[in-house]
Structure 1
């Protein structure tokens, strides 16, 4: 395999760091990192002789151009407000197209947003806009990696699914709706594999595991010897009513309803990545199941799994 130069915009972020570490396991990869403060790049990345770091803001054309120039692939690991996720990515894409960069891995990952209409799951609207923008480019091809939901935050307080005090799993629906999930580490490993696959363009779907909340509860019992209580919060229609009511009541209080929107579109079947996935195409990437994910963590660590990522 000939050497590849791969750039990661947002390399100091949790997911960007993890993708960088996976890419550095490949001796044929030369890595570039773009960050507002390169001094925050962890030493296991920054001290590698195959890593070059570039300092700049998301909207700084003068800094973006040398970062993308000569790269084979650019991976965007931005996470933030819509302006960053849309206009910030457009800046990167324009620079890539001008510089002749072959492929651009968009900041997508969670859920198959291609099945959504604008406004349905509002945090995924930027991805819809960016995908359409990439389709207008002549040189740079878009790569869109869709992995179901990230496992790591699911059991954090953000989603209010796991209550560690009462050892209860809360759920909406009937309890037999599948939870499609892929861990951050597994998704980063897959992203690295896709980045070095020169033929990988367009949509790539991957899944670590697919289990109902009842099956996940049984997996808790297998891993920890403790079977959680199950608490039904209501039907999916109840969830839909509640999330819209909270948004209408106080749209500025985004964290009161955003987790509910994600949960609804995660469970209602509209954004499933299965059954057609590319798992078989990337056989070197072993799917991390819910059992694998839980086995790597104690019960006490589960609510904090997202925050401890790649630190």
Structure 2
């Protein structure tokens, strides 16, 4: 059973579960008319409409499931409170396994307060560890798809690779598609440990410079903005100046994520890439080569 199936990652997880022959129930909000719902039906998923605030409905929906997979996105109300209701429902229904919506760098190695969104995952993780259910978190670093434009690291227009700190720091990248494929395999594997760590590619900033230059045929240069201390100060100033909002990914949140990665603290190790040999990991070079070209 999967919550968050109408999102990008969730929809991909459903696809890979179905490709592996799994029977999939997709939980969606009652009355949802999202185009993704029709796509889920076409893939063979059973759509179950629920009120995510109603634990009794969630418990009924979980009945008979072998694993509850969460791919929801949001802030406290979703990551902590709603997932807690889903967890309690899974326990009440006797579901043996639960995969939370983590899909990130290793937040267990980060100091509290260094990343708002990951602090929420840590808080839910503490609740999950106290529940009588087997849990497995999937940690995949940064979605490498973000390197094609959303993450301000490779600036194609200016032929620059931007970074703070050390250009030789190892960084973990995995495509959304590969993360979904691995999660689907893990959901059907009754022997998974508490954490599984994967990286489609481990690259440094210097490595990204080489790849970007090779893919575009133009010379990219490194641009070191400053040290991590200065980056941390900039994040605090940016957050203080921005009005309070319910945005899941305000600019300062992305900055926190990059600061975490550049620090090296949440580096994933050991990697579990070989656990499911049928999964082919997509290199960063391929992601950049397939990016949509935009006018400069």
TM-score w.r.t. structure 1 length? Answer: 0.87
3-state secondary structure, aligned to 1:226: coil
What's 2:137 paired with? 144
After superposing on structure 2, the runs of 4+ consecutive aligned residues of structure 1 that deviate more than 6 Å are none
3-state secondary structure, aligned to 2:173: strand
Residue 10 in 1 paired to residue 22 in 2? no
Q: Structure 1: any 5+ residue segments left out of the alignment?
A: 1-6, 302-311
Alpha-carbon distance in structure 2 between the residues aligned to 1:99 and 1:133: 18
Residue 51 in 1 paired to residue 65 in 2? no
Question: Alpha-carbon deviation of 1:212?
Answer: 1.2
Alpha-carbon distance in structure 2 between the residues aligned to 1:47 and 1:64: 23
Q: Structure 2: any 5+ residue segments left out of the alignment?
A: none
Question: Alpha-carbon deviation of 1:269?
Answer: 0.8
3-state secondary structure, aligned to 1:277: coil
What's 1:213 paired with? 205
After superposition, what is the alpha-carbon deviation per residue over 1:140-186, rounded to whole angstroms, capped at 9, x for unaligned? Answer: 211101111111224434x3223333232221123222221101011
Alpha-carbon distance in structure 2 between the residues aligned to 1:227 and 1:32: 48
- Residue 149 (structure 2) aligned to one of 141, 156, 160: 156
**Residues 44 and 259 (structure 1), Cα distance of their counterparts in 2 relative to 1, 3 Å cut:** closer
- Residue 267 (structure 1) aligned to one of 251, 259, 262: 262
TM-score w.r.t. structure 2 length? Answer: 0.91
* Contact residue 55 and residue 63 of structure 1 kept, 8 A: no
- Residue 174 (structure 2) aligned to one of 182, 207, 210: 182
* Contact residue 12 and residue 38 of structure 1 kept, 8 A: no
Question: Alpha-carbon deviation of 1:298?
Answer: 4.2
After superposition, what is the alpha-carbon deviation per residue over 1:56-81, rounded to whole angstroms, capped at 9, x for unaligned? Answer: 23222243122211100111011012
- Residue 184 (structure 2) aligned to one of 189, 192, 207: 192
**Residues 162 and 226 (structure 1), Cα distance of their counterparts in 2 relative to 1, 3 Å cut:** same
Question: Alpha-carbon deviation of 1:261?
Answer: 0.9
Question: Alpha-carbon deviation of 1:287?
Answer: 1.9
Higher mean C-alpha displacement, 160-169 vs 292-301: 292-301
* Contact residue 106 and residue 268 of structure 2 kept, 8 A: yes
* Contact residue 54 and residue 63 of structure 1 kept, 8 A: no
Alpha-carbon distance in structure 2 between the residues aligned to 1:42 and 1:296: 27
Residue 35 in 1 paired to residue 19 in 2? no
3-state secondary structure, aligned to 1:257: helix
Alpha-carbon distance in structure 2 between the residues aligned to 1:11 and 1:298: 25
Cα RMSD after superposing both structures: 2.1
Question: Alpha-carbon deviation of 1:123?
Answer: 1.1
Alpha-carbon distance in structure 2 between the residues aligned to 1:66 and 1:33: 13
